Amino acid sequence: MPLSKPRLAKDLNRRIPPSHRSDLAGVLIPEVELQKRIATMGRAIARDYAGRDVLVVSLLSGTVLFLADLLRRLPFPLRVDFLGVSSYGAGTESGNLVFNKELKLDVRGAHVLVVDDILDTGKTLRAVTDRIAALRPASIRTCVLLDKKERRVGTFEADYVGFRIPNLFVVGYGLDFAERYRNLPFVGVLKPEVYAPGPVQPKRGSA
Ligand code: 5GP
Ligand code: MG
Protein backbone atom coordinates (compact mmCIF):
# COMPACT_ATOMS: atom_id res chain seq x y z
CA MET A 1 0.00 0.00 0.00
CA PRO A 2 1.73 3.20 -1.10
CA LEU A 3 1.69 6.08 1.33
CA SER A 4 1.66 9.03 -1.01
CA LYS A 5 2.13 12.11 1.14
CA PRO A 6 4.16 12.54 4.28
CA ARG A 7 1.85 13.47 7.10
CA LEU A 8 3.72 16.41 8.41
CA ALA A 9 0.80 18.76 8.86
CA LYS A 10 1.15 20.96 11.90
CA ASP A 11 -1.97 19.59 13.56
CA LEU A 12 -0.40 16.13 13.74
CA ASN A 13 2.21 17.54 16.06
CA ARG A 14 -0.44 17.40 18.75
CA ARG A 15 -0.05 13.63 18.83
CA ILE A 16 3.62 13.80 19.73
CA PRO A 17 4.09 13.18 23.44
CA PRO A 18 5.23 16.44 25.08
CA SER A 19 8.55 14.80 25.99
CA HIS A 20 9.41 14.43 22.28
CA ARG A 21 8.02 17.66 20.83
CA SER A 22 11.40 19.29 20.65
CA ASP A 23 13.03 16.54 18.54
CA LEU A 24 10.21 15.20 16.31
CA ALA A 25 8.92 17.13 13.29
CA GLY A 26 5.73 15.08 13.00
CA VAL A 27 3.98 11.73 13.04
CA LEU A 28 4.28 9.93 9.71
CA ILE A 29 2.30 6.78 10.51
CA PRO A 30 0.01 6.72 13.55
CA GLU A 31 -0.41 3.62 15.67
CA VAL A 32 -3.86 2.68 14.27
CA GLU A 33 -2.62 2.76 10.69
CA LEU A 34 0.36 0.58 11.59
CA GLN A 35 -1.91 -1.99 13.21
CA LYS A 36 -4.41 -2.03 10.33
CA ARG A 37 -1.68 -2.51 7.75
CA ILE A 38 0.10 -5.21 9.77
CA ALA A 39 -3.16 -7.16 10.04
CA THR A 40 -3.44 -7.06 6.23
CA MET A 41 0.20 -8.12 5.81
CA GLY A 42 -0.36 -10.98 8.24
CA ARG A 43 -3.30 -12.24 6.19
CA ALA A 44 -1.23 -12.16 2.99
CA ILE A 45 1.69 -13.98 4.63
CA ALA A 46 -0.62 -16.55 6.23
CA ARG A 47 -2.20 -17.25 2.84
CA ASP A 48 1.21 -17.80 1.24
CA TYR A 49 2.88 -19.80 4.00
CA ALA A 50 0.33 -21.81 5.98
CA GLY A 51 1.22 -25.50 6.10
CA ARG A 52 4.93 -24.95 5.40
CA ASP A 53 7.98 -25.22 7.64
CA VAL A 54 8.35 -21.48 8.22
CA LEU A 55 11.34 -19.83 9.87
CA VAL A 56 10.92 -16.13 10.55
CA VAL A 57 14.32 -14.44 10.70
CA SER A 58 14.14 -11.05 12.33
CA LEU A 59 16.93 -8.49 12.07
CA LEU A 60 17.87 -6.92 15.38
CA SER A 61 17.04 -4.47 16.84
CA GLY A 62 14.78 -2.28 14.72
CA THR A 63 12.16 -4.98 14.18
CA VAL A 64 11.21 -5.53 17.84
CA LEU A 65 7.79 -3.86 17.80
CA PHE A 66 6.90 -4.73 14.21
CA LEU A 67 7.85 -8.39 14.75
CA ALA A 68 5.80 -8.68 17.94
CA ASP A 69 2.70 -7.29 16.22
CA LEU A 70 3.22 -9.23 12.98
CA LEU A 71 3.76 -12.59 14.74
CA ARG A 72 0.42 -12.21 16.52
CA ARG A 73 -1.17 -12.05 13.07
CA LEU A 74 0.41 -15.31 11.84
CA PRO A 75 -1.89 -18.05 13.17
CA PHE A 76 0.10 -21.13 12.10
CA PRO A 77 3.11 -23.05 13.46
CA LEU A 78 6.44 -21.36 12.79
CA ARG A 79 9.90 -20.82 14.30
CA VAL A 80 11.55 -17.48 15.01
CA ASP A 81 15.25 -16.66 15.03
CA PHE A 82 17.27 -13.44 15.17
CA LEU A 83 20.17 -12.13 13.16
CA GLY A 84 22.15 -9.20 14.50
CA VAL A 85 23.20 -6.78 11.82
CA SER A 86 23.91 -3.11 12.02
CA SER A 87 24.69 -0.64 9.30
CA TYR A 88 24.27 2.66 11.10
CA GLY A 89 26.42 4.07 13.85
CA ALA A 90 25.20 7.17 15.56
CA GLY A 91 24.53 8.87 12.20
CA THR A 92 21.88 8.39 9.52
CA GLU A 93 24.02 7.26 6.59
CA SER A 94 24.64 3.60 5.84
CA GLY A 95 28.08 2.49 6.97
CA ASN A 96 29.76 -0.88 6.88
CA LEU A 97 27.63 -3.90 7.64
CA VAL A 98 28.51 -5.76 10.82
CA PHE A 99 26.95 -9.11 11.77
CA ASN A 100 26.92 -9.17 15.54
CA LYS A 101 24.61 -12.12 16.22
CA GLU A 102 24.35 -15.30 14.18
CA LEU A 103 21.31 -17.54 13.67
CA LYS A 104 20.81 -20.30 16.22
CA LEU A 105 18.29 -22.49 14.38
CA ASP A 106 18.73 -24.81 11.42
CA VAL A 107 17.81 -23.07 8.19
CA ARG A 108 18.27 -25.97 5.78
CA GLY A 109 15.01 -26.88 4.03
CA ALA A 110 12.98 -24.18 5.80
CA HIS A 111 10.89 -21.48 4.15
CA VAL A 112 12.62 -18.38 5.48
CA LEU A 113 10.82 -15.07 5.86
CA VAL A 114 13.30 -12.29 6.67
CA VAL A 115 11.69 -9.43 8.58
CA ASP A 116 13.29 -5.99 8.69
CA ASP A 117 12.14 -2.57 9.79
CA ILE A 118 13.03 -0.51 6.73
CA LEU A 119 14.40 -1.07 3.25
CA ASP A 120 16.63 1.82 2.28
CA THR A 121 19.59 1.33 -0.10
CA GLY A 122 18.95 -2.43 -0.03
CA LYS A 123 22.48 -3.20 1.12
CA THR A 124 21.41 -4.88 4.37
CA LEU A 125 18.74 -7.16 2.95
CA ARG A 126 20.90 -8.11 -0.02
CA ALA A 127 23.75 -9.17 2.29
CA VAL A 128 21.37 -10.95 4.67
CA THR A 129 19.56 -12.91 1.95
CA ASP A 130 22.90 -13.93 0.39
CA ARG A 131 24.10 -15.15 3.77
CA ILE A 132 20.92 -17.16 4.39
CA ALA A 133 20.87 -18.57 0.85
CA ALA A 134 24.26 -20.17 1.54
CA LEU A 135 22.56 -22.18 4.33
CA ARG A 136 20.27 -23.91 1.80
CA PRO A 137 16.73 -22.97 2.84
CA ALA A 138 13.78 -24.15 0.73
CA SER A 139 12.94 -20.51 -0.06
CA ILE A 140 13.68 -16.96 1.10
CA ARG A 141 11.34 -13.99 1.06
CA THR A 142 11.61 -10.58 2.68
CA CYS A 143 9.10 -8.51 4.61
CA VAL A 144 9.64 -4.89 5.62
CA LEU A 145 7.45 -2.41 7.42
CA LEU A 146 8.80 0.60 5.52
CA ASP A 147 10.29 1.09 2.08
CA LYS A 148 12.24 4.18 0.98
CA LYS A 149 12.26 3.18 -2.66
CA GLU A 150 13.92 6.31 -4.00
CA ARG A 151 17.05 5.56 -1.95
CA ARG A 152 17.68 2.17 -3.54
CA VAL A 153 21.13 1.39 -4.90
CA GLY A 154 20.73 -1.23 -7.63
CA THR A 155 17.58 -3.33 -7.69
CA PHE A 156 16.09 -4.96 -4.64
CA GLU A 157 12.42 -5.33 -3.81
CA ALA A 158 10.88 -6.80 -0.68
CA ASP A 159 8.12 -9.37 -1.10
CA TYR A 160 5.88 -7.82 1.56
CA VAL A 161 5.93 -4.06 2.18
CA GLY A 162 3.96 -2.21 4.83
CA PHE A 163 4.31 1.39 3.69
CA ARG A 164 6.26 3.21 1.00
CA ILE A 165 7.61 6.36 2.57
CA PRO A 166 9.43 9.42 1.25
CA ASN A 167 13.11 10.00 1.81
CA LEU A 168 12.93 11.14 5.43
CA PHE A 169 14.82 9.84 8.44
CA VAL A 170 12.19 8.15 10.59
CA VAL A 171 12.22 6.89 14.16
CA GLY A 172 9.83 5.11 16.49
CA TYR A 173 8.00 1.79 16.44
CA GLY A 174 11.37 0.03 16.80
CA LEU A 175 13.44 2.40 14.69
CA ASP A 176 16.14 4.33 16.47
CA PHE A 177 18.44 7.26 16.20
CA ALA A 178 21.56 6.56 18.30
CA GLU A 179 19.54 3.81 20.09
CA ARG A 180 16.77 6.19 21.18
CA TYR A 181 13.11 6.54 20.16
CA ARG A 182 12.48 2.78 19.63
CA ASN A 183 9.69 2.81 22.20
CA LEU A 184 7.45 5.33 20.40
CA PRO A 185 4.23 3.53 19.35
CA PHE A 186 4.12 5.44 16.00
CA VAL A 187 6.55 6.17 13.16
CA GLY A 188 7.73 9.75 13.42
CA VAL A 189 10.05 12.08 11.58
CA LEU A 190 13.08 13.36 13.39
CA LYS A 191 13.84 17.07 13.07
CA PRO A 192 16.93 17.38 10.85
CA GLU A 193 18.67 19.51 13.47
CA VAL A 194 18.67 16.47 15.78
CA TYR A 195 20.76 14.32 13.44
CA ALA A 196 22.58 17.08 11.58
CA PRO A 197 23.18 19.78 14.15
CA GLY A 198 24.22 23.09 12.60
CA PRO A 199 27.13 25.19 13.79
CA VAL A 200 26.87 26.18 17.43
CA GLN A 201 25.39 29.65 17.66
CA PRO A 202 27.44 32.04 19.76
CA LYS A 203 25.56 32.91 22.91
CA ARG A 204 24.22 36.42 23.01
CA GLY A 205 24.21 38.57 26.07
CA SER A 206 26.82 38.75 28.75
CA ALA A 207 30.35 38.04 27.63
P1 5GP B 1 19.92 -0.32 3.84
O2 5GP B 1 20.98 -1.35 4.04
O3 5GP B 1 18.72 -0.82 3.07
O4 5GP B 1 20.44 0.96 3.29
O5 5GP B 1 19.45 0.12 5.28
C6 5GP B 1 18.62 -0.64 6.04
C7 5GP B 1 18.83 -0.34 7.49
O8 5GP B 1 19.18 1.02 7.71
C9 5GP B 1 17.54 -0.55 8.24
O10 5GP B 1 17.47 -1.87 8.72
C11 5GP B 1 17.62 0.48 9.34
O12 5GP B 1 18.28 -0.11 10.44
C13 5GP B 1 18.47 1.58 8.79
N14 5GP B 1 17.67 2.72 8.28
C15 5GP B 1 17.46 3.10 7.00
N16 5GP B 1 16.68 4.18 6.92
C17 5GP B 1 16.37 4.51 8.20
C18 5GP B 1 15.54 5.54 8.78
O19 5GP B 1 14.91 6.39 8.14
N20 5GP B 1 15.47 5.53 10.14
C21 5GP B 1 16.13 4.62 10.92
N22 5GP B 1 15.99 4.72 12.23
N23 5GP B 1 16.89 3.62 10.40
C24 5GP B 1 17.00 3.58 9.06
MG1 MG C 1 17.90 -2.36 10.79
pTM of whole model > 0.85?
A: yes
191 burial type by CB count under 10 A (0-12 exposed, 13-18 middle, 19+ buried): middle
Amino acid 11: pLDDT: 61
* Ligand 1 atom with the shortest distance to the CA of 175: 22
Q: What CATH number does domain 31-166 carry, 3.40.50.720, 3.40.50.2020, 3.30.9.10, 3.10.20.30?
A: 3.40.50.2020
pLDDT at 4 over 60: no
Q: What is the pLDDT of residues 11-22, one digit of tens each?
A: 666 778 888 889
DSSP per-residue letters across 176-198: -BTTBSTT-SSEEEE-HHHHS--
In sign, the C-alpha dihedral spanning 56, 35, 39, 120 is: negative
Q: Where are the domains of the chain?
A: 31-166
162 three-state secondary structure: strand
CA–CA separation, 57 vs 112, rounded Å? 7
Selecting among 116, 117, 120, 147, the annotated active-site residue is 120
120 is catalytic: yes
When pLDDT is cut at 50, 70 and 90, the band that residue 203 belongs to is very low
On average, the pLDDT of the chain sits at 89
Name the closest-CA residue to atom 4, ligand 1: 121
Q: Using alpha carbons only, what angle is made at residue 109 by residues 105 and 111, rounded to the nearest 5 degrees?
A: 80
Nearest to 30 by CA among 53, 6, 4: 6
CA–CA separation, 31 vs 33, rounded Å? 6
pLDDT at 201 over 70: no
Q: What is the pLDDT of residues 31-85, one digit of tens each?
A: 999 999 999 999 999 999 989 999 999 999 999 999 999 999 999 999 999 999 9
Nearest to 59 by CA among 112, 136, 109: 112
Nearest to 73 by CA among 48, 51, 44: 44
Q: Which of 120, 171, 190 to mutate to test the pocket of ligand 1 (most atoms within 8 A of CB)?
A: 120
pLDDT at 86 over 60: yes
Least confident window among 69-73, 89-93, 133-137, 175-179: 89-93
